[in-house]
Amino acid sequence: MEVSDKTARQMFAELRADPARKRFGFGRKAMLVNVDPQNAYTSVDEFVTAYATDPRQMDYVNALAEAARAKALPVMWTYVAYRPDGVDCGVFGIRDDTPDGLKNIKRGSRRASFDERLSIDVERDYIVNKLMPSAFHETCLQSLLVWHGCDTVIVAGGSTSGCVRATVVDGVSRGYRMIVPEECVADLHESPHFANLYDMHKKYADVLPVSEVLAFYATLP
């Protein structure tokens, strides 16, 4: 089979199966960042059903958050929401001016709220309203990573080709080891999902089975 005939899923599977490919690896201390797991993107009655590697995505995200808290490691949840007139969306919202568009995710709305299946500890976890794709863009994420002494960022959420990828690229650009648990991210369609898993694993992150990430937490004191 020629490379041009392979699907993105096949290319990603082959890349990750290569035993000679060096990993970034886990560092000394990790922060879990769950990017926009909110009703606007995860609820089938609100939006197009997202493609995830595993339908138990939310269960795995909960498991990662629980594992992080058990080791006294930081957990962040981001969500996208804008003021009533949507002007703080800026140029990001120009192309999608429909009722379901980005800038029409209003603060305090159901679409801005986290998926009800998630277990969020509002007393211990960090909850951040972000306005742009990357969780690093003009948020407190960078300063929290410095404060907690983290050198590794584990990224879950969606979309794989959008806000997850943007966060991963920003993170590795800042010198962090970026980890993406495959079953914990989703996109609108299968093709961009696996194409971006392939691209991130090739250049910017370690895209790992969630079992390996949970095993990492289990090894920590």
Active-site positions read 163
Q: Which residues of 29-56 are buried (b: 16+ CB within 10 A; e: fewer)?
A: ebbbbbbbbbbbbbbeeeeeebbbbeee
Listed in order, strand segments (DSSP E) in the chain are 30-35, 51-52, 75-80, 126-130, 152-158, 177-181, 185-187, 206-208
What 3-state DSSP class applies to 30?
A: strand
Closest CA to 32 of 147, 145, 146, 190: 145
Q: Is 95 exposed, middle or buried (0-12, 13-18, 19+ CB in 10 A)?
A: exposed
